[in-house]
Amino acid sequence: MASVVVVVGSFNVDHVWTCDALPRPGETRAGAYASGPGGKGFNQATASARAGAATTFICALGDDPGGALARGLAAGDGIDLRAQHAAAPTGTAGIYVDRDGRNSIVIGAGANGELSAAFVSAQGAAIAAAAVVLAQLESPVDSVLEALRIARAARATTLLNPAPANVSAPRELLAAADVLTPNETEFAALLARHCDDDIDADAVVRSDDAQLHRLCRALLPRGTVVVTLGAAGAFVSHREDQLRGDALAFYRCPATRVEVVDTTGAGDAFNGALAASLARGAATPFAAHVAFACRYAGEATRLPGAASAMPRLPADA
Ligand code: RIB
């Protein structure tokens, strides 16, 4: 079967400490330890697969237990894994989660940093056969750009999740995205880099919708921007002549209220679910895809962990 969603991105072994409060500089805290699969790319691929889409995941893995973990888990979720063999060890992340489910993350890119544009290009047939291609910024920018270029040439819908915020996507990469999905922090960082306008990340959720729409249009004039707002849901901004089946050029989508255990990977849940929903229902209004992704992301915060917390939903959920 041809892949419906192709995700290009990172796999990490997440080392997670859960404690009352996130440690301050110089502070030692007691907490509970667990490890599990993560990486924004793998989390999104897992969400896509568990939300019902045939999913291919293109990544780079070390020849080590972390790489074996990725291969085993991908097989278990029916994900078509295309892994470049890297000399570096498989990627890792150190994560602290506090009692409110908030986190701080440090990543060791490892193998993820070796994902080459040539390897991505060699997966061109799978990328060109996809309905939706989704990427993030924990892999080299030229490799991500190669994937989106192949996808665009084949008329697949391209989704770019510009995460994490400290990696700055160049204009050329933004322009390759049909749909850009920053969170508030990433949105503020991209505006500061690419636009004369800027905004404080904490002010995004309280901003006037017309003002947010104007900022989104400045950031991605030719595409759709979905700013994810955590517990406040998401803000959508379309180009005026390309509403993707919606009645409005800009609007908010509320989040569902849930008992939050761990927000790690919630953004990844949103992106994977959005990709899966778009891939199976091109004729459905975009707002319905965003509503599905918001619900799915909320569900993903009910459980601890990243990839392993992605809910398994029927395709028509
Ligand atoms: O988005 C959450 C992910 O960020 C974690 O799984 C961690 O691996 C980092 O990539």
Closest by Cα among 130, 95, 31, 59 to 309: 95
| Residue 167 CB-half CA count within 13 A | 20
Which pTM was predicted? 0.96
Gap from CA of 265 to ligand 1 centroid (Å): 6
Q: pLDDT class for 225, splitting at 50, 70, 90?
A: very high
How does pLDDT run across 113-153, given as a tens digit for each residue? 999 999 999 999 999 999 999 999 999 999 999 999 999 99
Question: Which residues line ligand 1 at a C-beta cut-off of 6 Å?
Answer: 10, 12, 14, 38-40, 43, 93, 105, 107, 138, 264-265, 267-268, 306
How does pLDDT run across 1-15, given as a tens digit for each residue? 445 999 999 999 999
Which residues carry out catalysis? 268
Mean pLDDT of 1-30: 92
Gap from CA of 264 to ligand 1 centroid (Å): 7
Indicate the SS3 state at residue 54.
coil
- Of 57, 107, 262, the one to substitute when testing ligand 1's pocket (max ligand atoms within 8 A of C-beta) is 107
| Whether residue 164 has a cis bond before it, omega within 30° of 0 | yes
Residue nearest to atom 1 of ligand 1 (CA): 265
How does pLDDT run across 61-90, given as a tens digit for each residue? 999 999 999 999 999 999 999 999 999 999
Q: Are 58 and 123 within 8 A, CB to CB?
A: yes
pLDDT of residue 283: 84
Strand order in the sheet with 91-97: 32-38, 12-18, 91-97, 103-108
Query: Rounded to the nearest 5°, which phi and psi values hold at 53?
Result: -100, 140
Residue nearest to atom 9 of ligand 1 (CA): 39
Residue nearest to atom 10 of ligand 1 (CA): 39
Whether 212 shows a pLDDT value over 90: the answer reads yes
Q: What is the pairing mode between strands 32-38 and 12-18? A: antiparallel
Gap from CA of 266 to ligand 1 centroid (Å): 10
pLDDT of residue 314: 56
pLDDT of residue 317: 56
Q: Are 306 and 264 within 8 A, CB to CB?
A: yes
Domains of the chain: 5-23+31-309 (3.40.1190.20)
Whether 316 shows a pLDDT value over 60: the answer reads no
* Vertex 40: Cα angle to 100 and 280 (nearest 5): 105
* Mean pLDDT score across all residues of the chain: 95
% of the chain beyond a pLDDT of 90: 94
Q: pLDDT class for 168, splitting at 50, 70, 90?
A: confident
pLDDT of residue 197: 76
Whether 278 shows a pLDDT value over 80: the answer reads yes
